[in-house]
Structure 1
Amino acid sequence: MPTSERKMAEGEAQRRLQLGRLGDYVGFRMRRVQNQLSADFAAATAHYGIRAGLFSSLALIEANPGISQQELSSTVGLDKSITVQIVDELEKRGWAKRGRSTVDRRRHSLTVQPKGKKTLDELFAIMVDVESEVLAQLSPEERPLFDAALDRMYTVFHR
């Protein structure tokens, strides 16, 4: 079933269902949106064969050249052993490179390679398409407020 038809069918079901007490919890409401966005992004990027955590890890490495695996693991919220597997896969694809840190030789420093930059550009273009309908529900004035509210909520976990 095409995405638009699926969304219409799901939308009809959502209108019929009451959230009950779950509607009082921000985590449930956010997760519901996040699950749908993740599923749509996964479908739109299936031909890349990427698994969960690969895209966000590569994007964070690009935004933070020289980031350590430990910092990446903490920021993405993945177990260190999973992060090692992700970095291994990024290297295997030629998207990122692991090297010794010039600041602390005990840690690895991660950088994005040109092939990874090109792939990120493509994936972010897909992300724009996937999120466009959802973000269109917010006015230009609401978007910065929404982003700021999410960031404030996140800081609760990292004081």
Structure 2
Amino acid sequence: MRAATRPVVATPADAETGDAARSGSVAFGPLADSLGFHLRLAQIAAFEEFFAAFAEDGLQPGGFSVLITIRENPGVRQGILANALRIKRSHMAKIVQGFGEAGLIERRVPPDDRRAVELTLTEAGHRLVAAKMPKFLQHERASAAALTKDERHTLFALLRKLNGL
């Protein structure tokens, strides 16, 4: 699926001669060496593949990452979760409200801080994550299929470093 959505990249020579436009390829100029640009293209491709894999489930990448992270951190405070996943607090509130209404998470106000909300998965939330995890792991393997095991390891190490993890 990813091959169909990849742009055709022109060489600098094609861009100079105008052959890029005629061949259907695109010259990216300084974007060709832009980390943010390449991360964005990779994210879009990964999200397209996620949506295709989970279309009938109604799951979105951000929402599923919230459920997985709550599973891994029962009782995590909503603000801490939003910061860790770099989700705006207002958007996190909507996600949490939707999952609460769907019976997938429980919200609890801790006695030591009445402004905070602690989140845990319900049994239904645990069942959903467990049921979708094989498909998610298959999607993850497929998303990096063009990379060797060593390349994947290197990419993740570099991304963790960039993200301060």
TM-score, length of structure 2 as denominator length: 0.78
Q: Which residue of 1 aligns with 2:71?
A: 62
Deviations 1:20-66 (A, max 9, x none): 21111111111101111111211221222234631111111111111
TM-score, length of structure 1 as denominator length: 0.80
Greater RCO, 1 or 2 (C-alpha within 8 Å, sep 6+): 1
Q: Which residue of 1 aligns with 2:128?
A: 119
What stretches of structure 1 of length at least 5 have no aligned partner?
none
Structure 1 residues 14 and 123, CA gap change in structure 2 (3 angstroms): farther
CA shift at 1:141, angstroms?
A: 2.6
State the structure with more CA Rg: 2
- 1:152 corresponds, among 155, 158, 161, to 161
Q: Is the 8 A contact 1:96 1:112 kept in 2?
A: yes
Q: Is the 8 A contact 2:49 2:143 kept in 1?
A: no
Partner amino acid for 2:146? Answer: Q
Partner amino acid for 2:124? Answer: K
Cα RMSD for the two superposed structures: 2.2
Q: Separation in 1 of the partners of 2:130 and 2:28?
A: 38
SS of residue paired to 2:40: helix
Structure 1 residues 8 and 143, CA gap change in structure 2 (3 angstroms): closer
SS of residue paired to 2:163: helix
1:19 to 2:31 alignment: no
